[in-house]
Homo-oligomer: A and B are copies of this chain.
Amino acid sequence: MHFASDNTAPVSPEILAAIAEANTAQVSSYGADHLTQRLTDRFREVFETDLAVYPVSTGSAANALALACLVHPYGAVICADEAHISTDECGAPEFFTGGAKLLTLPSPDGRITPMQIEVAVARALDGGVHHVLPEAVSITQSTEWGTVYNTTDIGSIGEACRRRGLPLHMDGARFANALVHEGCTPAELTWKAGVDVLSFGATKNGALAAEAVIFFNPALAAGFERRRKRAGHLWSKMRFLSVQLHAFLENDLWLANATHANAHAARLAEGLAALPGVRLVQRVQANEVFVAMPEALIEKLEAEGAVFYRWIELPGESNPIIRLVTSYATTADQVERLLSVAAQSITP
């Protein structure tokens, strides 16, 4: 019953196999190999547009390198106050950008709005040179609260960005989970709605350690390669990053993995919501379930071996909140066992 995070899952067998298959005799290093070079074509097919793609090994690296291309050290990135880039990357965006600020917006469900962005920009500009200059907006898909921006949400944010001349970054650590929830195309959920740069996540959804930074406007990527090298994120044996991403896309493995994870989250949510005294505090749209329950029930679950994190408090909710995350490797058995333990703990 391991629901702590989707990054505790193993590597998808298909991805491991691809690594083994790529382990051939001498191959040019630092990305000058055939496997890396065909990656761009593969992503162009998936996203139905021209783009530039750069593999890196972690999501923090992907986000921070992307943002460093978008803002100056005297600039700012607008994002939600619970955004991963703000609370869980130990200041990576500040490090990679040379000290730019994150202007954080409160959000009850992890999503920010065009109006919030507009107000933040206006106030920042009002401060003149005394204030950092908003130069980008970053949204997370799916959000830190497990919710999903639909194409209309993104479209209106994209429009607000364009009005202010701000590029729009999407932290897509769980992009696949959002995509299969929306049931639209990758293009519709990104560049067609106004996303300029995407941190395309794979590690949480089956890869060993692989993410891709995708620039739908390749001009924004100027300097990316030197920034990546200088951050120690250019692999000499780059092909082993590239093939993870290939295998991830091959036969829609990424979509299958995300569909699996989402389905188990939905089942968890449904089962927990049916229990008295238990409340879903957010809509479950991807692979994360945020649920408030009595302390005694939480301790019972832990005692029975369930693993998960306690989350921050929410206004108006007196019970503690836990987060349950599913992954491609979550089994129906684990889900049912947790639900059964919970049900037994509650009924007298």
Q: Which residues of A contact B (CB under 8 A)?
A: 2, 4-5, 7-11, 13, 16, 19-20, 23-30, 56-62, 64-65, 72-74, 76, 87-92, 94-101, 123, 127, 129-133, 203-204, 208-209, 223, 225-237, 240-241, 307, 312, 329
A236 to B228, CA, bound (A): 19
A329 to B29, CA, bound (A): 15
A65 (CB) vs chain B CBs: closest residue: B232
A19 to B244, CA, bound (A): 14
Cβ 8 A contact of A226, one of B25, B133, B203: B133
* Nearest CB of B to A18, in Å: 12
A20 (CB) vs chain B CBs: closest residue: B16
Q: Which residues of B contact A59 (CB under 8 A)?
A: 232, 236
Cβ 8 A contact of A230, one of B5, B91, B123: B91
| Contact A92 to B28, CB < 8 A, known contacts A23-B16, A236-B204 | no
Q: Which residues of B contact A27 (CB under 8 A)?
A: 8, 10
Cβ 8 A contact of A61, one of B2, B91, B232, B240: B232
A64 to B28, CA, bound (A): 24
A229 to B233, CA, bound (A): 13
Q: Which residues of B contact A208 (CB under 8 A)?
A: 19, 237, 240
Are B24's CB and A90's CB within 8 A?
no
Would you give 25 A-B contacts (Cβ < 8 Å), ordered by A? A2-B25, A5-B236, A7-B29, A7-B30, A7-B237, A8-B26, A8-B28, A10-B25, A19-B19, A59-B236, A60-B229, A73-B95, A74-B223, A74-B226, A74-B230, A76-B91, A90-B129, A90-B130, A91-B101, A92-B229, A95-B231, A129-B226, A203-B237, A209-B237, A233-B233
Are B91's CB and A74's CB within 8 A?
yes
A204 to B11, CA, bound (A): 24
Are B99's CB and A236's CB within 8 A?
no
A307 (CB) vs chain B CBs: closest residue: B26
A97 (CB) vs chain B CBs: closest residue: B99
Are A203's CB and B236's CB within 8 A?
yes
Candidate in A90, A130, A233, A240 with the most chain B CB atoms within 10 angstroms: A90
* Nearest CB of B to A298, in Å: 16
A33 to B64, CA, bound (A): 26
Are A131's CB and B87's CB within 8 A?
yes
Cβ 8 A contact of A132, one of B8, B91, B101: B91
A7 to B240, CA, bound (A): 12
Are B127's CB and A98's CB within 8 A?
no
Q: Which residues of B contact A62 (CB under 8 A)?
A: 232
A165 to B131, CA, bound (A): 31
| Contact A11 to B240, CB < 8 A, known contacts A4-B28, A73-B98 | yes
A226 (CB) vs chain B CBs: closest residue: B74
* Nearest CB of B to A34, in Å: 13
Cβ 8 A contact of A232, one of B97, B225, B233, B237: B233
Q: Which residues of B contact A19 (CB under 8 A)?
A: 16, 19, 208
Are B58's CB and A235's CB within 8 A?
yes
Q: Which residues of B contact A131 (CB under 8 A)?
A: 87-88, 90
Are A89's CB and B133's CB within 8 A?
no
